[in-house]
Amino acid sequence: MVIVTQPDSACAQIATDGKKIDLVKFKLLLEETRQLYLSLYSWYYMPSSLHKVLMHGCDIIDFFDLPIELLSEEALEATHKNIRNSRLYHTRKTNRIHTNLDLIKYLLLNSDPSVSKHRKTASKQLHANLTDTKAFMVDDAAPSFTQSDLNIFFLEDLELHE
């Protein structure tokens, strides 16, 4: 097993990296981290947030199809910018009904989990002291959709419903 110098940071880095996680290895890391915490801080109750991550982290990751980072509140707040840009550049401006219909279809298409998990994302750099976290990732070469692919899907859907 890979010894991680900062187990708490490694667990957080692995969980929020956005890549597919090897759940068996990650579960072992979480168990080792929990045992380390209990041995070092046996006099202090484990905070509930840390308990949830260490005890139930693998179950949560296994349950959801999307990476944890896409389920955060930051992701929801970032959609305001997307709504503005989508309304400005991807809707018909003939009347309010067409504009709102196009906006809803475009946003539904972009928020579809099966599409968003294949979307190209900016590569994240791992911290220098956490380079061994790559051992916990599964190399999954899934096809990715580009913005032009999404536009083609959107236009085909519009033509079907007009």
Q: What's the pTM value of the predicted model, to 2 decimals?
A: 0.51
Output DSSP code: residue 70. G
Nearest to 35 by CA among 5, 58, 55: 55
- The domains of the chain are located at 7-161
Q: What pLDDT does 99 receive?
A: 94
Summarize pLDDT for 48-77 with one digit per residue, the tens.
888 888 898 888 888 887 777 767 777 677
Distant-in-sequence, close-in-space partners of 82: CB < 8 Å, separation ≥ 6: 107, 110
Contact between residue 137 and residue 17 where contact means Cβ atoms under 8 Å apart: yes
